Structure 1
Amino acid sequence: MVFVSLTRLRVRSVWFMPGFFLYAIRSERQVRGAAGFLTGALLPDRDKTFWTMTAWDSEASMRAYMISGAHKAAMPKLLHWCDEASVAHWMQEADTLPSWEQADERMRTEGRASKVLHPSAAHAGLQYNAPRTAGSASIRPV
């Protein structure tokens, strides 16, 4: 079985974009070398919104990545930088990622809002527009 992690973040102001991108680059570099990482994808959406989807050999591997290195350093900043954040996790047989449309459906049905300090009106109910699925980029392990 493969553990899939899906995140959606909306940066609340262009002023936070440089820092967000710096930590995104560092986190992507970290995930490529993370133990248990199988594959992933990034999706820049509209309105300063960004999706990530990663596949892991286990939930433990994903959590070890999440609480270390660049990703750990970024997490507290996202509380302030984002006005919408959500996450969904699931197990699946296939070692390939689902489509972004399928991921969106998972987020809406199984996802949960993450803590942010300045939530939008739509944050708690995961009330967001369907993602623009063009422009996705793959993440491969090193």
Structure 2
Amino acid sequence: MPHNSITRLRLRSIFSLGAFAKETREISAQLATAPGFLGGAVLAEGRLVFWTRSAWESLDAMKAFRDSGAHRVSMPKIQDWCDEAAVVQCDGAPLTDWDEIYALLTEKGRLTRLKRPNAAHEAKQFAKMFRWSPEQPIKPEKK
């Protein structure tokens, strides 16, 4: 059964946006070649909030990606860059509807430890989704 992984990150400052964007591109490239990756997307919500969704053949495939390469290098930086960060995972058909994804994260999301969380993060209150641009799909590379 496929496994879904969803993240929501809010940058503390626009000054980290350049480094964040660079690493996001590197992670997206890693993602496209990751064994077991079925598909996903990055969504720039606005207000320095970014979402990712990825679908995997299995939880083990997702963990192998998470713990390697550019993604592994970037994960600790989230603690400094973000004042809100959360993740949610579930098994089932690949999730693509952002309203459904938002509802799942608000209901079952797990907060990431941050060095300087804001009050909304600590209260686990996610602002209503405000999409101003289309998602950027990430497709697995054909082998």
When normalised by structure 1's length, the TM-score is 0.94
Inter-partner Cα distance in structure 1 for 2:52 and 2:110: 15
Aligned match of 1:29: 29
The C-alpha deviation readout for 1:76-118, integer Å capped at 9, x for no partner, is: 11110000000000001x2x42300000000011111111111
C-alpha RMSD over aligned residues: 1.0
Aligned match of 1:108: 106
The share of aligned pairs that are identical, in percent, is 36
Q: In structure 1, what residue type is equivalent to 2:130?
A: R
Inter-partner Cα distance in structure 1 for 2:57 and 2:124: 28
Q: How many residues align?
A: 140
Task: After TM superposition, list the pairs within 5 Å mapping 1:13-92 onto structure 2.
Answer: 13-92=13-92
**8 A Cα contact 1:78 1:116, kept in partner:** yes
Inter-partner Cα distance in structure 1 for 2:22 and 2:50: 14
Inter-partner Cα distance in structure 1 for 2:51 and 2:65: 17
When normalised by structure 2's length, the TM-score is 0.94
Aligned match of 1:136: 135
Unaligned runs of 5+ in 1: none
**Post-superposition shift, 1:130?**
1.7
**8 A Cα contact 2:42 2:53, kept in partner:** yes
* Structure 1 outlier segments of 4+, above 4 Å: none
SS at the partner of 1:45? strand
**8 A Cα contact 1:10 1:82, kept in partner:** yes
**8 A Cα contact 1:113 1:125, kept in partner:** no
The C-alpha deviation readout for 1:25-57, integer Å capped at 9, x for no partner, is: 000000000000001011101210100000000
Unaligned runs of 5+ in 2: none
